[in-house]
Amino acid sequence: EAGVVQSPRYKIIEKKQPVAFWCNPISGHNTLYWYRQNLGQGPELLIRYENEEAVDDSQLPKDRFSAERLKGVDSTLKIQPAELGDSAVYLCASSLVATQPDEQYFGPGTRLTVT
Amino acid sequence: AQSVAQPEDQVNVAEGNPLTVKCTYSVSGNPYLFWYVQYPNRGLQFLLKYITGDNLVKGSYGFEAEFNKSQTSFHLKKPSALVSDSALYFCAVRDIRGGSYIPTFGRGTSLIVHP
């Protein structure tokens, strides 16, 4: 079974530039999560999807961050414009059903460096 | 509100010795508790979870964790550490009450197993 796939693995951009991250969850997983992990910290949720619907997006900085999950499968997280403080690892995770205490399966993450 | 604390930034143990990585939590209701491990340049991997029932939970790679409700703790343990266990370990909690489907992660504990 293929795991959660993320791309790119690394991205270096200058501040004020846009950037996008892509995630393909495990097949059949209805729930998809985007997390941000700062150095020395645990993951912090940005947004959760149930199929195509975005729920639990209160931590997403909506002035510069946007996300979509078309057709309830792949998802894209975008930052425009990026700021220095956005440097972090962006993790995508998926789980079968959020209402159950299922474990989440994480992708390898995208390490973003904003200069 | 839910929170989790990992009081140790780093744990050092000799190979073959038992190891313990500490985690305490705070929830208003009953908790779902999880442990994840993160190897360098890789996403988090699920180790084990506590939902209900037996307070001692067994997971992957010989790890186990003990749920202690009175002390609000969920310490991760292994009887005999391996050098390959060296990694970053994250405890996470989810409050059953209130319909939250989002786990809160601790800051992580770096486990270093010396040969």
Spans of chain B, pLDDT less than 70: 97-100
Residue B64 token pair: 């186990």
Contacts of B34 in chain A (CB under 8 A): 103
Distance CA A7, CA A28 (A): 20
What was the pLDDT predicted at B30?
A: 84
Spatial contact of B13 and B111, defined as CB atoms under 8 Å apart: yes
Q: Are strands B10-14 and B109-114 parallel, antiparallel or unpaired?
A: parallel
What was the pLDDT predicted at A55?
A: 84
Spatial contact of A67 and A77, defined as CB atoms under 8 Å apart: yes
What was the pLDDT predicted at A58?
A: 84
What was the pLDDT predicted at A101?
A: 65
Sheet holding A75-79, edge to edge: A5-7, A19-24, A75-79, A65-68
Distance CA B72, CA B55 (A): 12
Say whether A42 and B107 touch across the interface (CB within 8 A).
yes
The one-letter amino acid at B32: Y
How far is the alpha carbon of B62 from chain A, nearest alpha carbon, in Å? Answer: 18
Say whether A42 and B45 touch across the interface (CB within 8 A).
no
Using the structure block, give the residue that is written with the tokens 């310490």.
B75
Spatial contact of A106 and A92, defined as CB atoms under 8 Å apart: yes
Say whether B101 and A105 touch across the interface (CB within 8 A).
no
Question: Given A31, A44, A101, which is nearest B51 (Cβ)?
Answer: A101
Distance CA A74, CA A27 (A): 10
Q: Is A56 on the interface with B (CB under 8 A)?
A: yes
Using the structure block, give the residue that is written with the tokens 């909506």.
A62
Residue A104 token pair: 């989440």
How far is the alpha carbon of B46 from chain A, nearest alpha carbon, in Å? Answer: 6
What was the pLDDT predicted at A57?
A: 87
Q: Is A28 on the interface with B (CB under 8 A)?
A: no
Question: Given A40, A103, A107, which is nearest B107 (Cβ)?
Answer: A40
What was the pLDDT predicted at A97?
A: 74
Beta strands in chain B (DSSP E): 3-5, 10-14, 19-21, 24-26, 31-38, 44-50, 56-58, 64-68, 73-78, 87-95, 104-105, 109-114
Distance CA B9, CA B88 (A): 10
How far is the alpha carbon of A13 from chain B, nearest alpha carbon, in Å? Answer: 20
Spans of chain A, pLDDT less than 70: 1, 98-101
Radius of gyration of chain A (CA): 13
